[in-house]
Amino acid sequence: RKEVEQDPGPFNVPEGATVAFNCTYSNSASQSFFWYRQDCRKEPKLLMSVYSSGNEDGRFTAQLNRASQYISLLIRDSKLSDSATYLCVVKGGPGTSYGKLTFGQGTILTVHP
């Protein structure tokens, strides 16, 4: 089983649509969870951290279910500028106490006019 698994997509949605991405992780001892965004041939950039209580940042809502080892990202009112690859990222767990990030394959989103 992959350490962090995502639906690779691609997701093609019109502007204004709501889109949801899902992610599962295999290490139940993982401690911290993130969504990063990666534009084509660029570095990953932190979009938002994901907390157990769920959290929202503008049009973006992230949820974490530790029991199911499941993370989600919801984007409302999609903009053209949201087109990117969204990376589910997990940190921590046994033997990884020094900040190692484990990345999923990424989900490609294209928002069209």
DSSP state of 3: S
CB of 15 to another protein, least distance (A): 27
64 near 51, Cβ under 8 Å? yes
Question: Residues 7, 96, 108, 110: which binds another protein (CB under 8 A)?
Answer: 96
Residues 6+ apart with CB under 8 A from 100: 91, 92
Considering only the stretches 10-18, 29-37, 59-67, 76-84, report the one whose residues sit in contact with another protein under the rule CB under 8 A: 29-37
CB of 113 to another protein, least distance (A): 27
The residue count for binding another protein (CB under 8 A) is 27
Closer residue to another protein (CB): 69 or 105? 105
What distance lies between CA 25 and its chain's CA centroid?
11
46 near 1, Cβ under 8 Å? no
Q: Which two tokens stand for residue 36?
A: 């990063």
Considering only the stretches 13-21, 40-48, 65-73, 76-84, report the one whose residues sit in contact with another protein under the rule CB under 8 A: 40-48
Q: SS3 for 82?
A: helix
- Point out which residues bind another protein (CB under 8 A): 31-32, 34, 38, 41-46, 49, 51, 87, 91-92, 95-106
